[in-house]
Amino acid sequence: MSVNDSEIKILEEKAEKIRETIIEMLVAAGSGHTAGPLDMADIFAAFYFHILSHDPKNPDWEERDRLILSNGHIVPVRYAAMAHAGYFPIEECLTLRKFGSRLQGHPERVRLPGLETTSGPLGEGLSQGGGIAYAFQMDAKKSGKPDHRRVYVAMGDGEQDEGNVWEAVMWVGKNKLHNLTAIIDRNNIQIDGMTEDIMPLESLRAKYEAFNWHVIEVDGHNIRRFIEAVDEAKAIYEKPTVIIAHTIPGKGVPDIEFDYHWHGKPPTKEQGKDFLKEIRTMGGKVPHEYA
Protein backbone atom coordinates (compact mmCIF):
# COMPACT_ATOMS: atom_id res chain seq x y z
CA MET A 1 0.00 0.00 0.00
CA SER A 2 2.78 2.40 -0.98
CA VAL A 3 1.87 6.07 -1.08
CA ASN A 4 3.71 8.83 -2.92
CA ASP A 5 4.16 12.49 -2.03
CA SER A 6 1.29 13.72 -4.21
CA GLU A 7 -1.07 11.17 -2.64
CA ILE A 8 0.01 12.27 0.84
CA LYS A 9 -0.72 15.87 -0.12
CA ILE A 10 -4.22 14.90 -1.23
CA LEU A 11 -4.83 12.99 2.01
CA GLU A 12 -3.65 15.97 4.08
CA GLU A 13 -6.07 18.19 2.15
CA LYS A 14 -8.86 15.70 2.84
CA ALA A 15 -8.02 15.81 6.53
CA GLU A 16 -8.23 19.60 6.50
CA LYS A 17 -11.67 19.48 4.84
CA ILE A 18 -12.79 16.90 7.41
CA ARG A 19 -11.70 19.23 10.23
CA GLU A 20 -13.59 22.12 8.67
CA THR A 21 -16.74 20.00 8.38
CA ILE A 22 -16.39 18.87 12.01
CA ILE A 23 -16.41 22.49 13.19
CA GLU A 24 -19.35 23.39 10.96
CA MET A 25 -21.45 20.47 12.16
CA LEU A 26 -20.66 21.06 15.84
CA VAL A 27 -21.61 24.72 15.54
CA ALA A 28 -24.88 23.75 13.83
CA ALA A 29 -25.64 21.15 16.49
CA GLY A 30 -24.78 23.34 19.45
CA SER A 31 -23.51 20.27 21.27
CA GLY A 32 -20.99 17.49 20.85
CA HIS A 33 -17.30 16.70 21.21
CA THR A 34 -14.54 18.78 19.62
CA ALA A 35 -11.03 17.71 20.68
CA GLY A 36 -11.14 14.01 19.77
CA PRO A 37 -12.75 14.36 16.34
CA LEU A 38 -10.22 17.01 15.34
CA ASP A 39 -7.23 14.94 16.43
CA MET A 40 -8.41 11.84 14.54
CA ALA A 41 -9.04 13.63 11.22
CA ASP A 42 -5.71 12.55 9.70
CA ILE A 43 -6.30 8.91 10.58
CA PHE A 44 -9.88 8.87 9.26
CA ALA A 45 -8.75 10.57 6.05
CA ALA A 46 -6.18 7.79 5.66
CA PHE A 47 -8.83 5.14 6.30
CA TYR A 48 -11.57 6.36 3.99
CA PHE A 49 -9.38 7.60 1.15
CA HIS A 50 -6.53 5.07 1.10
CA ILE A 51 -6.60 2.13 3.51
CA LEU A 52 -10.08 0.65 3.64
CA SER A 53 -11.46 -1.70 1.07
CA HIS A 54 -14.99 -0.26 0.86
CA ASP A 55 -17.64 1.06 -1.51
CA PRO A 56 -19.64 4.17 -0.53
CA LYS A 57 -22.25 3.29 -3.16
CA ASN A 58 -22.61 -0.23 -1.75
CA PRO A 59 -21.98 0.15 2.00
CA ASP A 60 -23.09 -3.41 2.78
CA TRP A 61 -20.65 -4.95 0.30
CA GLU A 62 -19.75 -8.30 1.84
CA GLU A 63 -16.04 -8.10 0.94
CA ARG A 64 -15.50 -4.74 2.66
CA ASP A 65 -13.14 -4.16 5.55
CA ARG A 66 -14.83 -3.39 8.86
CA LEU A 67 -14.05 -0.20 10.79
CA ILE A 68 -15.45 -0.22 14.33
CA LEU A 69 -15.64 3.07 16.24
CA SER A 70 -15.56 2.08 19.89
CA ASN A 71 -15.32 5.59 21.36
CA GLY A 72 -18.55 6.66 19.71
CA HIS A 73 -18.51 10.22 21.02
CA ILE A 74 -15.90 11.21 18.41
CA VAL A 75 -18.30 10.18 15.62
CA PRO A 76 -18.34 13.65 13.98
CA VAL A 77 -14.97 12.75 12.43
CA ARG A 78 -16.44 9.57 11.00
CA TYR A 79 -19.53 11.32 9.66
CA ALA A 80 -17.38 14.03 8.05
CA ALA A 81 -15.02 11.47 6.48
CA MET A 82 -17.95 9.38 5.21
CA ALA A 83 -19.65 12.42 3.70
CA HIS A 84 -16.50 13.53 1.88
CA ALA A 85 -16.03 9.93 0.68
CA GLY A 86 -19.52 9.93 -0.87
CA TYR A 87 -21.67 7.94 1.56
CA PHE A 88 -24.16 10.81 1.84
CA PRO A 89 -24.33 14.53 0.96
CA ILE A 90 -21.93 16.75 2.90
CA GLU A 91 -24.84 19.09 3.66
CA GLU A 92 -26.41 16.35 5.78
CA CYS A 93 -23.57 16.81 8.27
CA LEU A 94 -25.36 19.93 9.47
CA THR A 95 -28.15 17.73 10.84
CA LEU A 96 -25.82 16.33 13.52
CA ARG A 97 -27.74 15.58 16.74
CA LYS A 98 -30.99 16.95 15.31
CA PHE A 99 -34.23 15.16 16.10
CA GLY A 100 -34.81 12.46 13.49
CA SER A 101 -31.37 12.85 11.93
CA ARG A 102 -29.40 9.83 10.76
CA LEU A 103 -26.36 11.49 12.35
CA GLN A 104 -26.88 11.05 16.05
CA GLY A 105 -24.40 12.11 18.74
CA HIS A 106 -23.28 8.50 18.98
CA PRO A 107 -23.34 6.25 15.91
CA GLU A 108 -26.45 4.13 15.42
CA ARG A 109 -25.93 1.29 12.95
CA VAL A 110 -29.57 0.93 11.93
CA ARG A 111 -29.88 4.62 11.04
CA LEU A 112 -26.96 5.08 8.64
CA PRO A 113 -25.60 2.58 6.09
CA GLY A 114 -21.85 2.32 6.44
CA LEU A 115 -21.79 2.19 10.23
CA GLU A 116 -20.78 -1.24 11.48
CA THR A 117 -21.91 -0.95 15.10
CA THR A 118 -23.84 1.22 17.52
CA SER A 119 -21.52 2.64 20.15
CA GLY A 120 -22.21 4.74 23.18
CA PRO A 121 -21.02 2.96 26.32
CA LEU A 122 -17.25 2.82 26.16
CA GLY A 123 -15.28 -0.42 26.11
CA GLU A 124 -17.39 -2.52 23.74
CA GLY A 125 -15.74 -1.99 20.35
CA LEU A 126 -12.79 -4.33 20.74
CA SER A 127 -15.04 -7.21 21.77
CA GLN A 128 -17.27 -6.55 18.75
CA GLY A 129 -14.31 -6.29 16.41
CA GLY A 130 -12.78 -9.42 17.87
CA GLY A 131 -15.96 -11.37 17.20
CA ILE A 132 -16.06 -10.19 13.59
CA ALA A 133 -12.37 -11.00 13.03
CA TYR A 134 -12.87 -14.46 14.55
CA ALA A 135 -15.85 -15.06 12.25
CA PHE A 136 -13.75 -14.08 9.22
CA GLN A 137 -11.15 -16.66 10.23
CA MET A 138 -13.89 -19.26 10.62
CA ASP A 139 -15.11 -18.42 7.10
CA ALA A 140 -11.59 -18.86 5.74
CA LYS A 141 -11.16 -22.21 7.47
CA LYS A 142 -14.50 -23.43 6.12
CA SER A 143 -13.82 -22.33 2.54
CA GLY A 144 -10.17 -23.33 2.52
CA LYS A 145 -9.32 -19.95 0.98
CA PRO A 146 -7.68 -16.87 2.53
CA ASP A 147 -10.10 -14.21 3.76
CA HIS A 148 -8.64 -10.82 2.92
CA ARG A 149 -11.16 -8.78 4.91
CA ARG A 150 -9.63 -6.91 7.81
CA VAL A 151 -11.11 -5.46 10.98
CA TYR A 152 -10.00 -2.12 12.41
CA VAL A 153 -11.11 -0.92 15.85
CA ALA A 154 -10.64 2.73 16.84
CA MET A 155 -10.52 3.34 20.60
CA GLY A 156 -9.87 6.22 22.94
CA ASP A 157 -7.08 6.19 25.50
CA GLY A 158 -9.46 7.11 28.35
CA GLU A 159 -11.48 4.11 27.24
CA GLN A 160 -8.60 1.90 28.35
CA ASP A 161 -9.94 2.44 31.89
CA GLU A 162 -12.76 0.03 31.06
CA GLY A 163 -12.34 -3.52 32.34
CA ASN A 164 -14.04 -5.17 29.37
CA VAL A 165 -11.40 -3.64 27.08
CA TRP A 166 -8.83 -5.84 28.80
CA GLU A 167 -11.04 -8.91 28.63
CA ALA A 168 -11.14 -8.35 24.87
CA VAL A 169 -7.39 -7.66 24.70
CA MET A 170 -6.76 -10.99 26.42
CA TRP A 171 -9.22 -12.94 24.23
CA VAL A 172 -8.05 -11.43 20.93
CA GLY A 173 -4.42 -12.08 21.87
CA LYS A 174 -5.18 -15.63 22.92
CA ASN A 175 -6.86 -16.35 19.59
CA LYS A 176 -4.06 -14.70 17.57
CA LEU A 177 -6.46 -12.64 15.48
CA HIS A 178 -3.89 -11.25 13.06
CA ASN A 179 -6.66 -9.86 10.85
CA LEU A 180 -7.57 -7.32 13.55
CA THR A 181 -5.78 -4.02 14.08
CA ALA A 182 -6.70 -1.73 16.98
CA ILE A 183 -5.91 1.98 16.95
CA ILE A 184 -5.68 3.88 20.23
CA ASP A 185 -6.11 7.65 20.04
CA ARG A 186 -3.39 8.52 22.57
CA ASN A 187 -4.31 12.17 23.04
CA ASN A 188 -3.78 12.04 26.83
CA ILE A 189 -7.11 13.63 27.77
CA GLN A 190 -10.50 12.47 28.97
CA ILE A 191 -13.57 14.33 30.14
CA ASP A 192 -12.29 15.07 33.67
CA GLY A 193 -8.65 15.86 32.91
CA MET A 194 -5.38 14.33 31.75
CA THR A 195 -5.37 10.54 31.58
CA GLU A 196 -2.25 10.15 33.68
CA ASP A 197 -3.90 12.17 36.46
CA ILE A 198 -7.28 10.40 36.31
CA MET A 199 -6.07 6.82 35.90
CA PRO A 200 -2.47 6.31 34.72
CA LEU A 201 -2.26 4.12 31.62
CA GLU A 202 1.43 3.74 31.01
CA SER A 203 3.03 1.62 29.92
CA LEU A 204 0.40 0.84 27.29
CA ARG A 205 3.00 -0.84 25.09
CA ALA A 206 4.08 -3.23 27.83
CA LYS A 207 0.49 -4.07 28.75
CA TYR A 208 -0.53 -5.00 25.21
CA GLU A 209 2.68 -6.91 24.60
CA ALA A 210 2.00 -8.91 27.76
CA PHE A 211 -1.26 -10.09 26.14
CA ASN A 212 0.46 -11.25 22.92
CA TRP A 213 -0.10 -8.16 20.77
CA HIS A 214 2.28 -6.58 18.27
CA VAL A 215 2.62 -2.89 19.20
CA ILE A 216 3.47 0.04 16.91
CA GLU A 217 3.72 3.64 18.09
CA VAL A 218 3.32 6.48 15.60
CA ASP A 219 2.66 10.19 15.27
CA GLY A 220 -1.08 10.08 14.58
CA HIS A 221 -0.81 13.23 12.46
CA ASN A 222 1.79 11.80 10.11
CA ILE A 223 -0.40 10.16 7.50
CA ARG A 224 2.46 8.43 5.72
CA ARG A 225 3.72 6.87 8.92
CA PHE A 226 0.22 5.74 9.89
CA ILE A 227 -0.26 4.03 6.53
CA GLU A 228 3.12 2.33 6.95
CA ALA A 229 2.02 1.11 10.38
CA VAL A 230 -1.14 -0.41 8.89
CA ASP A 231 1.00 -2.12 6.25
CA GLU A 232 3.26 -3.48 8.98
CA ALA A 233 0.21 -4.84 10.81
CA LYS A 234 -0.85 -6.71 7.68
CA ALA A 235 2.53 -8.44 7.61
CA ILE A 236 2.14 -9.80 11.16
CA TYR A 237 0.53 -13.24 10.97
CA GLU A 238 1.02 -14.66 14.46
CA LYS A 239 -0.75 -12.03 16.58
CA PRO A 240 -3.05 -8.98 16.48
CA THR A 241 -1.61 -5.48 16.23
CA VAL A 242 -2.35 -2.30 18.14
CA ILE A 243 -1.24 1.06 16.77
CA ILE A 244 -0.79 3.60 19.55
CA ALA A 245 -1.35 6.87 17.67
CA HIS A 246 0.07 9.82 19.58
CA THR A 247 -2.18 12.78 18.78
CA ILE A 248 -2.78 16.35 19.87
CA PRO A 249 -6.34 16.90 21.14
CA GLY A 250 -7.96 19.71 19.18
CA LYS A 251 -5.35 19.36 16.42
CA GLY A 252 -5.55 22.17 13.87
CA VAL A 253 -6.92 24.76 16.29
CA PRO A 254 -3.93 25.93 18.38
CA ASP A 255 -6.18 27.87 20.78
CA ILE A 256 -7.69 24.64 22.15
CA GLU A 257 -4.93 22.07 21.64
CA PHE A 258 -4.20 20.00 24.78
CA ASP A 259 -7.11 21.62 26.66
CA TYR A 260 -9.19 18.78 28.10
CA HIS A 261 -12.15 21.10 28.62
CA TRP A 262 -12.77 20.76 24.87
CA HIS A 263 -13.20 17.01 25.16
CA GLY A 264 -16.97 17.35 25.37
CA LYS A 265 -18.06 20.83 24.31
CA PRO A 266 -18.69 22.48 20.93
CA PRO A 267 -17.59 25.88 19.70
CA THR A 268 -20.01 28.79 19.60
CA LYS A 269 -20.83 30.37 16.25
CA GLU A 270 -18.16 33.04 16.75
CA GLN A 271 -15.59 30.53 17.98
CA GLY A 272 -16.42 28.36 14.98
CA LYS A 273 -15.50 31.17 12.60
CA ASP A 274 -12.18 31.64 14.38
CA PHE A 275 -11.50 27.89 14.46
CA LEU A 276 -12.11 27.57 10.73
CA LYS A 277 -9.62 30.37 10.07
CA GLU A 278 -7.04 28.59 12.24
CA ILE A 279 -7.57 25.27 10.48
CA ARG A 280 -7.13 26.89 7.07
CA THR A 281 -4.02 28.68 8.28
CA MET A 282 -2.55 25.43 9.61
CA GLY A 283 -3.49 23.50 6.46
CA GLY A 284 -0.62 22.10 4.41
CA LYS A 285 2.00 22.29 7.12
CA VAL A 286 4.28 19.28 7.18
CA PRO A 287 3.67 17.14 10.32
CA HIS A 288 6.60 16.03 12.42
CA GLU A 289 7.66 12.40 12.64
CA TYR A 290 6.92 10.69 15.96
CA ALA A 291 10.20 9.88 17.67
Q: What is the pLDDT of residues 58-96, one digit of tens each?
A: 999 999 999 999 999 999 999 999 999 999 999 999 999
Reported as a pLDDT band with limits 50, 70 and 90, residue 283 is low
Q: Is 222 helix (H, G, I), strand (E, B) or coil?
A: coil
Q: Average of pLDDT values for 254-273?
A: 95
- Please report the sign of the dihedral spanned by the C-alpha atoms of residue 71, residue 73, residue 74, residue 76: positive
pLDDT over threshold 60, residue 19:
yes
List domains and CATH numbers for the chain. Answer: 5-282 (3.40.50.970)
Q: What pLDDT does residue 21 have?
A: 98
CB 28 within 8 A of CB 205: no
Beta-strand relationship, 241-246 and 214-219: parallel
Q: CA end-to-end span of the chain, whole Å?
A: 23
H-helix segments, the chain? 5-29, 35-39, 41-46, 75-85, 125-143, 163-174, 195-198, 204-210, 223-234, 269-282
pLDDT over threshold 50, residue 288:
no
